[in-house]
Amino acid sequence: MTTYIGHAAPKTLEGYECTKCHRFYQGESAEHVANYCCAEKAICDDCGQEFKKDHWCKTCHQKKQRAKYDKFKVVEWDGKAPLATWDDDKFFFDVDSLHDYIDECDCSIDDLMLVMCTPDMGPTVDADIFTDHMPEDWDEPKGWDEIREAMANLNKVIHSHGPHCWWADNVRPSVESVKRGTTYTKQEASQ
């Protein structure tokens, strides 16, 4: 074996080891990463409840979601506009579908975190999309005004046949207006 004249010196490394797989971690977050490495469960920093790794504490998540929801602007529901659940994209286009959902999930209107829906009237077609296919220094050809006018007419037709879909908005209907609009109780349904 060849002996080298060098600058080697013994050093002690500081860090954390995962006791399950024996991976070694160094740095500011080494303890956290070593604990995370092969962990199957975690403990919520807020309430101390255990939950499955790579998930979140359902209790605290629901509280945080409710707190966000409670800050939304409140409007009166007209009894006709579509509603959606804010946190899981269930849409209700009529009162009967809302009643059915309340029965299925065995919950109340107060629990649902309903939001108003905003209509999507469809995309707008812009004549300028053709510029992507033209050279940089091109001049508008003859008939370009006619193309723009045809596109404007097409947009009118598209929008006149909308809404094409609905999006859940961050505006919530007042619980009273939903109850008034549905006039529904579980007792009535069971009679």
pLDDT in tens, 24-42: 999 999 999 998 889 899 8
What is the secondary structure of the chain as a DSSP string?
---------------EE-TTT--EE-STTHHHHHHHHT-SEEE-TTT--EEETTS--HHHHHHHHHHHHHTSEEE---SSS-EEETTT--EESSHHHHHHHHHHHT--GGGS-EEEEEEE--PPP-GGGGGGGS-TTPPPPTTHHHHHHHHHHHHHHHHHT---EEEE-SEEE-HHHHHHHH---HHHHH-
pTM above 0.75, yes or no: no
What are the pLDDT digits (tens) for 132-188? 777 777 777 788 888 889 989 999 999 898 888 999 999 999 988 888 876 544 443
- The ranges assigned to domains in the chain are 14-66, 127-160
